[in-house]
């Protein structure tokens, strides 16, 4: 696991999700999220993950797979009414995934 990548991925994803969430909350009415949050949330999460992966020069498809897997536990958080706790957990899991991706990439890249 590449620890610097873990921290950079966590920070980037956290900032990206926060900024996009604020922008969407300001731009769209609450009813939009009631009706369409089930698709808008995951789409925004994947968009932020693509941004994070791009900034960290990670392969896009594995980064998005990791984001999707990291987001699955947050479904339970939404069901139990603690959406943002689920998002924080997902950020941590995604950062771990990115750190593993970087370590695998470095292990397979010839010196």
**Pairwise CA distance, residues 72 & 106, whole Å:** 27
Cite the DSSP H helix spans in 28-82.
30-55, 60-79
List of residues 6+ apart from 8 with CB closer than 8 A:
56
Q: Could you give the C-alpha distances from 29 to 24, 34, 37, 74, 79, in angstroms and in order?
A: 9, 9, 11, 23, 22
Report whether 94 contacts 65 (CB < 8 A): no
- What pLDDT sits at residue 105? 74
pLDDT in tens, the chain (111 residues): 999 999 999 999 999 999 999 999 999 999 999 999 889 999 999 999 999 999 999 999 999 999 999 999 988 998 898 988 999 999 999 999 999 998 887 777 766
**Residue 13: per-residue pLDDT:** 98
């Amino acid at each position: 696991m590449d620890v610097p990548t873990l921290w950079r991925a966590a920070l980037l994803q956290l900032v990206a999700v926060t900024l996009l969430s604020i922008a969407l909350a300001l731009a769209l009415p609450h009813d939009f999220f009631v009706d369409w949050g089930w698709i808008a949330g995951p789409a925004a999460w994947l968009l932020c993950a693509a941004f994070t992966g791009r900034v960290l020069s990670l392969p896009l498809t594995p980064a998005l797979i990791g984001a999707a897997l990291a987001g699955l536990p947050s479904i339970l958080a939404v069901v139990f009414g603690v959406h943002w706790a689920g998002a924080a957990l997902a950020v941590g899991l995604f950062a771990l995934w990115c750190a593993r991706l970087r370590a695998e990439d470095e292990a397979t890249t010839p010196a």
